[in-house]
Structure 1
Amino acid sequence: MTQTSGELPIEEIVRRKVCGHLAAIYPDRDREEIARELLRAMRLDEDCQTPQSHRNLWDQTDMVVITYADTILSGDRRPLQALHHFLKEHFTMLINSVHILPFFPYSSDDGFAVIDYKQVDPALGDWNDILRISTDFHLMADLVINHCSSQHRWFVNFQEGKDPGRDYFLAVDPSENLSGVVRPRTTPLLRAVSDGDETRFVWCTFGHDQVDLDFRNPQVLLEMVDIVRLYLDMGVRIFRLDAVAFLWKKIGSRCINLEETHEIVRLLRTLIEHADPNAIIITETNIPNRENLSYFGNANEAHCIYNFSLPPLLVNSLVSGNCRHLKNWLMSMPPAQNGTTYFNFIASHDGIGLRPVEGLLSDDEQEALIQTMENFGGQISWRALDDGNRKPYEINISLFDALKGTTAGEDQWQLQRFTCAHAVMLALEGIPGFYLHSLVAGTNDCRRMAEHGHNRAINRRQWQEGDLNRKLADPDSHHGKVFRQLRHLIRVRRNQPAFHPNATQFTLHLGEQIFAFWRQSMDRRQSIFCLNNISDTPQTVLLSSINLIGTDKWKDLISGRHFEDMLGSVTLAPYQTLWITNQ
C-alpha cells in the first residue's frame, strides 16, 4: 500500500518537492513534465518510501575502506573478486563499508574519465561481482557527475551532431572573460573541437579528456538520475558526488558552489532518499573549509561531507610538533546536526589537498609543509590562478612516507606517528574512512608514478594478494605491525558509544604538543578523553586538568591501564594516544 503523510499521498508530496527544486534550477522550463520523467526514472511512481527526518543512518561501528577495484590482484580471480576475498578475509566484523573507486570503462584519470556509466569495466569483473560485494559490505560508489570521458558516446555524438549528446556539453565563445573561473588544474579551460565546418570550444574543468556536462539541459539531469537508479539496483548504498562543486556554470562567475549546484544536490537527495531511506549522499568538495560546510545545507543536501581540512592539518601537526592550527580548526567546526555527519579521512587516492587549509595555514607554514613532504619523496600538483600564475594544489605522497619524520628530517618514530594519525581520525566526530594503502602501510610507488606519468600514481600501488598477505602476517614487517595496531584500534572504537559519529565533542586545551578532545555518548553515560602526543618528546598531563570525576573508574581503552589517583599525572611517550574512559 502507498505510504501517506497527512491527507496527501506520499507520491504527491514528493512530486511537489521535486517541482520546487526544478523551479529553482529551471525557472523557464516545464517543471511538471521534467518532474514526471524524473519520478519515472527513479520508479517513484511505483514505489515511494518515506524517509525519517534527521535520522542518523550510522553509528560507531560504521567505517569505510577506500580502494580501487584492482588494488588487490590474484592470478586465479578477477580483480573485483580478489578484492572481495581480501576484504572478507581481513575486515569482516571490523569494517562494514567499502568505497570502490570508479569501476567503469574509462579513458584516463584512473577511472574518473568515464566512458560508460552503466557498465563495469570487463577487465575488473561485472555487475554480479559488484552485487556480491554489496551483500557483505555497505557499498559506496562514485557518481562522476560533473564530466565524462571525451570517448563517451555522448561526446562522440556531440561532435557529430547526433542525439543523445548533441546538446549535452557547454560550448563557449573563447572571447568571453573566463578569468574568474576557479580551476583545480593548469590545463586550458576550453578544448577546441572541430567537425570540419565549425570549431567549437567546450568546457573542461579537469582536463581535455574530461568534458564537463551541461546541466542547463534537463536531459543531462535525467540521464544522471537514470544512472543513480541503476546503481541503487546494483547494491550501491552510498553515493559519492564527485567534483560536484563545479557542476553549474555561469559566465562572469567563479563557476563553483553556485546556487543551482546546491539545488541539484537537494533534488538528488529528495529522489534518492524516497527511493531508499537508508541511502546516503556524500559530496566530494575539495575546497576551502567554510565553502565545504555549506554542502550540509539545512540537513537537506549531503548526509556527509568530506573533512578535507583534516589531512593537511593533521600531517602538519605531526611533522611540526605543534597542534595549534589543528586545535583552532577543531574548535571552529560546528557539530553536525542529526541526520548529517562528517566523513573523516587522512589519506586517499588523490593527494593531500592544500586548498582546504587556505586561511588556516600561512603561506610560510604551507611552504614548510611542502618542503618537508618533498624531502620525504612527495610530489606537488598545481592549479591555475586567474592571473595566469599557478599555486600548489595538493601534495602527492603515501601517508606512511609523509610521516617518516618531522621538519627536522627522518627519525625513528615513523610507526608511532602513523598510528597516532589514525587514532586521531578514529576518535573524532564523524565516520572514519581508511585508504587501503594506509591500512597496510603502503609506501611511495615511484615506479608506478614514472610509468603512468602523473603524480597521483605515487599512492596507487597494486598488490599481489599472496605477497601482501605474507607481509601482513610477518610480525617483523612494518606492514604487519601497522596492520595489527590499526585493527586493534578499530575493534576498540566499534564498542564505544562515545565514538558515535554524532556524539558530543569538545576541544581540550593541554598545550601545543597534546592534541586533546572529549567525546560523550548521546545518552551521556560514557565519556572518553582523547589525548594525543603529537611531538617527538614525552609529554606529561595532570589528570586534574581533564577533570576526571573521582566517583568513576577510569581506564585507557588502548592499553588497558587504570587510573585511580585523580590528582596524579600521566606521561605520554612520543606520538602515544590515550583513550581514557569511565566505562
Structure 2
Amino acid sequence: MTEIAPQQHLRERISAHLEVLYPDLEKAALLDDIVGLMALDHRCFMPSAHKNLWDESDTLVITYGDSILREGEWPLHTLHDFLRRELRGLISGVHILPFYPYSSDDGFSVINYVEVNPSLGDWKDINAIARDFDLMADLVINHCSSRSLWFENFKQRRDPGMDYFVEVDPKTDLSEVVRPRTSSLLNEVQTLDGKRHVWCTFSHDQVDLNFQNPKVLLEFVKIIRYYLDMGVKIFRLDAVAFLWKIPGTTSLNLEQTHEAVRLVRTLIEHAVPEAIIITETNIPLRENLAYFGNANEAHLVYNFSLPPLLINTMVSGSCQALKKWMMGMPAAQDGTTYFNFIASHDGIGLRPAEGLLDDADINQMVALMQKSGGRVSWRTLANGDNRPYEINISLFDAMRRHLYPDNENDGEDGFQEQRFVCAHALMLAVQGVPAFYIHSLLATENDENRVLHTSHNRSINRHQWVADDLESQLGTNSHHARIFQTLKDLIALRSAQAAFHPNAAQYPLHLGDEVFGIRRESHSSGAAIVAIYNISAKRQEILLADLNLDETAHWLDILNDDVDVRSQASLVLEPYEYRWLRRCDNVTATQ
C-alpha cells in the first residue's frame, strides 16, 4: 500500500471538512487556497493520533499583557521580565489574553487580528516571550469589533467585509437562541443600503462573524498561519460554541461548529505537530466534553465545572458535590485532557454548575460572594427571567468567608489564606493541566476602583500592579509573598511527580463530607499519590485504613520531609491542611 504524503493527507482531510460545512459550494478554489496557506510554502507533517503533548511538568499562567506596569517600559517587556525572574523553570507556558488592538471587553472585541496593541509593545516582545515559554493566544473567532475594518466595510457595502456578518430580519423568531447576555441579540446599524440588523451574541460592539461565508473561514486560516509563524503554540478558541448560527435553533454547539473545530485541528496539527487547541466553551458539562470529539477536536477543554464546585466546597465545608461530579467525570483519552483553573479574567461561571449544584446552593454561594464584595452578572432565559451567569470577584476575596457564619464575625474566621492555598493544592492534584490566573498566584484582592472606572463587573479581578509596588510586596511578609512562595513550591513539587501526569488515572476516595481525597496513578510508571484535604474549619482525623494504602509499600508525606506514614494509625489535619502521600517501594524514609 502506498503511504499517503502529509500534504495529500491534509488536502483530503480539509476537503472532507469543507464538504460538511459547505455542501453546495464548488470547493476546489477554496481548498487550493487553504492548502496553499498551510502547506505549499511550509513544511507539512503527518499528525500522530492520541499523542499526549504535555506531562506533569506543565503548568500555565494566565495574564493580560498589562497586568504589571513599570513607568517608561512596554508592558509586555515588564511581563516578560517578571515571568523570567519569578517563574522560569516552574511554569511551562503563558496565556497572554488578547494583545491585539481592541475597542471593548479588555481585548475580546478585536479591531485587527494581526497587530499587537501598540500600548503593550510589538510582535518582537511577543516573539521573545514565545521563545522562553509555550505561548497561548486567543483566536477570537466568533466575533470582531464594530470598529474593525471589516465592519466599517460592511457599513460601506464594500469588500472585504460586506458579507462577513450575520444579517437577520428582526421579525425572525430567535426565541430558541441561547446566549449569556441580557442585551438585545440584534443590533440595528445604518449602512449605505439602509438599516440592517446584525447578530451580536455578546455586545453590540462585538459583531458575530458569518462562517457560512467561506471567505470568513479563509480569513481565519490566514490568521492561524500568521500566529503559528509568530510563535503561538496553544490556540484558545474563544466563545467557539456560538460560532454557527441557524435561526430556529439554539445556535449553540451546532454540528457545523464542531466541524469547524475539527478543521482548525487539522490545519494546526499538520503545520506544527506540537501545536494545541483549547476550546473556551463556558457551558454545561456534557456539552463542554463534546468538544474533545474523538480526540479530533480540542486537545484540551476548559474544566469549567471545577471553579464553582471547588469554591463551593471550600466555603461550605462539604465536598459532597465535588466528589459526586468527579466520580462521574470520564477519563480523558490519550491526546486529550482537561485545562484546570479556579479563577480567570472573567469570573466564576455558574452555567457549568447547573445540574451539579442545586439552585439553593448556587444562590447561597452568590449571596456569600456578594458579602465579600463580589458582583453578579446575569443572563436572560427564554421566558424572560434573569439568572445569575457568573460571579465577579477576586479568588482571594472569594475565600474570605465561609457559609453558616455565627453572628459575631459574619463568616470571617481567619482561615482565608488557608482556604485559598488548599483550593489550589487540590486543583494541582486533579487530572489535567493546571493554570493559574496571575492574580491568584499573587493573591490580589478585589479592585473596586477599577470597577468604578470602567463600570464593568469583570474589572474587579483585572487589577494592574505597579511593578515596584509588587516587588515591594513580594519582598515582605505580606500575604502576597507568603501565598506566592507557597504556590511556587507546590508547582515545583507537583512537576516531579509522575502520578500527577495530566492523563494519569484518578480515583476519588470516600472520606466523609469534610475531607476530600483522591488517588492518582500513572499508567506507564505505576507511580501513585494519595492526596487528602481537610476542606473544613475543624480539625479532622483520618484513619490510614480508610485510605486503602498498599500495605507492602512505603507512603511518604512529600509535603512534610518525606515522613513515612505507614506506622501511624491515623493522620490529623488542621483546618484546610492537605497531604500528598507518594507510594515508594524501596526507600529509607524518615520515621
1:194 to 168, 190, 212: 190
Match of 2:330 in 1: 334
Match of 1:533 in 2: 534
- Aligned to 1:43, the other structure's residue is in SS state helix
Deviation digits for residues 440-464 of structure 1 (CA, Å, limit 9, x no counterpart): 0000000001101100000000011
- Which amino acid in the other structure matches residue 308 of structure 1? F
Match of 1:503 in 2: 504
2:66 to 70, 82, 85: 70
Contact residue 305 and residue 352 of structure 2 kept, 8 A: yes
Match of 2:513 in 1: 512
Query: Deviation at 1:551?
Result: 2.3
- Which amino acid in the other structure matches residue 496 of structure 2? N
Deviation digits for residues 62-94 of structure 1 (CA, Å, limit 9, x no counterpart): 110000000010113200000000000000110
Contact residue 44 and residue 275 of structure 1 kept, 8 A: no
Higher alpha-carbon deviation: 546-555 or 494-503: 546-555
Identity of aligned residues (%): 55
- Which amino acid in the other structure matches residue 436 of structure 2? F
1:397 to 380, 393, 396: 393
Deviation digits for residues 445-500 of structure 1 (CA, Å, limit 9, x no counterpart): 0000110110000000001111101111212x110110111011011001000000
Match of 1:21 in 2: 17
User: Are positions 1:58 and 2:60 aligned together?
Assistant: no
Deviation digits for residues 380-408 of structure 1 (CA, Å, limit 9, x no counterpart): 00111112221110000000000012012
Aligned-partner Cα distance in 2 for 1:129–1:485: 30
Q: What are the within-5 Å matches in structure 2 for residues 414-493 of structure 1?
A: 414-475=416-477, 477-493=478-494
Aligned-partner Cα distance in 1 for 2:415–2:241: 38
- Which amino acid in the other structure matches residue 513 of structure 2? E
2:364 to 341, 365, 368: 368
Aligned-partner Cα distance in 2 for 1:80–1:343: 24
Match of 1:38 in 2: 34
- Aligned to 2:39, the other structure's residue is in SS state coil
Q: What are the within-5 Å matches in structure 2 for residues 201-220 of structure 1?
A: 201-220=197-216
Query: Deviation at 1:549?
Result: 2.0
Higher alpha-carbon deviation: 567-576 or 258-267: 567-576
Query: Deviation at 1:567?
Result: 6.1
TM score, norm. by length of structure 1: 0.98
Deviation digits for residues 68-122 of structure 1 (CA, Å, limit 9, x no counterpart): 0000101132000000000000001101100000000000000000000010011
2:376 to 356, 365, 380: 380
Aligned-partner Cα distance in 1 for 2:521–2:146: 50
- Which amino acid in the other structure matches residue 510 of structure 1? L
Match of 1:184 in 2: 180
Higher alpha-carbon deviation: 98-107 or 406-415: 406-415
TM score, norm. by length of structure 2: 0.96
Contact residue 498 and residue 525 of structure 2 kept, 8 A: no
- Which amino acid in the other structure matches residue 257 of structure 1? N
Q: What are the within-5 Å matches in structure 2 for residues 10-159 of structure 1?
A: 10-44=6-40, 46-159=42-155
- Which amino acid in the other structure matches residue 490 of structure 1? I
Aligned-partner Cα distance in 2 for 1:193–1:152: 14
Query: Deviation at 1:48?
Result: 1.0
Aligned-partner Cα distance in 2 for 1:125–1:319: 40
- Aligned to 2:94, the other structure's residue is in SS state strand
Contact residue 555 and residue 566 of structure 2 kept, 8 A: no
Contact residue 157 and residue 193 of structure 2 kept, 8 A: no
Aligned-partner Cα distance in 1 for 2:524–2:115: 45
- Which amino acid in the other structure matches residue 573 of structure 2? L
Aligned-partner Cα distance in 2 for 1:360–1:348: 20
- Could you list the runs of 5+ residues in structure 2 that have no partner in the other structure? 406-410, 585-591
Q: Judging changes above 3 Å, is the alpha-carbon distance between structure 1 residues 156 and 536 closer, same or farther for their aligned structure 2 residues?
A: same
Query: Deviation at 1:194?
Result: 1.4
Aligned-partner Cα distance in 2 for 1:373–1:500: 33
Q: Judging changes above 3 Å, is the alpha-carbon distance between structure 1 residues 212 and 293 closer, same or farther for their aligned structure 2 residues?
A: same
Query: Deviation at 1:46?
Result: 4.1
User: Are positions 1:307 and 2:298 aligned together?
Assistant: no
Contact residue 39 and residue 45 of structure 1 kept, 8 A: no
Match of 2:589 in 1: none
- Aligned to 2:245, the other structure's residue is in SS state coil
Q: Judging changes above 3 Å, is the alpha-carbon distance between structure 1 residues 356 and 218 closer, same or farther for their aligned structure 2 residues?
A: same
Aligned-partner Cα distance in 1 for 2:2–2:573: 58
- Which amino acid in the other structure matches residue 383 of structure 1? R
Aligned pair count reads 578
Aligned-partner Cα distance in 1 for 2:475–2:557: 27
Query: Deviation at 1:563?
Result: 3.1
- Aligned to 1:405, the other structure's residue is in SS state coil
Contact residue 104 and residue 116 of structure 1 kept, 8 A: yes
User: Are positions 1:277 and 2:273 aligned together?
Assistant: yes
Contact residue 137 and residue 234 of structure 2 kept, 8 A: yes
Deviation digits for residues 297-337 of structure 1 (CA, Å, limit 9, x no counterpart): 00000000000000000000110000000001101110100
- Aligned to 2:364, the other structure's residue is in SS state helix
Aligned-partner Cα distance in 2 for 1:98–1:471: 23
- Aligned to 2:174, the other structure's residue is in SS state coil
Contact residue 497 and residue 522 of structure 1 kept, 8 A: no
Aligned-partner Cα distance in 1 for 2:113–2:306: 31
Contact residue 509 and residue 517 of structure 2 kept, 8 A: yes
Higher alpha-carbon deviation: 31-40 or 487-496: 31-40
- Aligned to 2:469, the other structure's residue is in SS state helix
Contact residue 154 and residue 191 of structure 2 kept, 8 A: no
Deviation digits for residues 361-395 of structure 1 (CA, Å, limit 9, x no counterpart): 11111100000000111000011111222111000
Contact residue 179 and residue 387 of structure 1 kept, 8 A: no
Aligned-partner Cα distance in 2 for 1:41–1:192: 36
Contact residue 14 and residue 270 of structure 1 kept, 8 A: yes
- Could you list the runs of 5+ residues in structure 1 that have no partner in the other structure? none
Contact residue 146 and residue 207 of structure 2 kept, 8 A: yes
Match of 2:348 in 1: 352
- Which amino acid in the other structure matches residue 538 of structure 1? R
Match of 1:258 in 2: 254
- Aligned to 1:207, the other structure's residue is in SS state coil
1:167 to 159, 163, 166: 163
Aligned-partner Cα distance in 2 for 1:43–1:123: 34
Aligned-partner Cα distance in 2 for 1:415–1:286: 28
Aligned-partner Cα distance in 2 for 1:196–1:498: 62
Aligned-partner Cα distance in 2 for 1:197–1:60: 57
Aligned-partner Cα distance in 2 for 1:6–1:304: 33
- Aligned to 1:192, the other structure's residue is in SS state strand
Deviation digits for residues 537-569 of structure 1 (CA, Å, limit 9, x no counterpart): 011111111122232221111122523445600
Aligned-partner Cα distance in 2 for 1:493–1:160: 55
Aligned-partner Cα distance in 1 for 2:516–2:149: 51
Aligned-partner Cα distance in 2 for 1:240–1:457: 21
Query: Deviation at 1:524?
Result: 4.2
Deviation digits for residues 101-157 of structure 1 (CA, Å, limit 9, x no counterpart): 000000000000000001001110000000000000000000000000000000000
Query: Deviation at 1:196?
Result: 5.7
Query: Deviation at 1:7?
Result: 3.0
Question: Could you say what the CA RMSD is over the residues aligned between the two structures, in angstroms?
Answer: 1.1
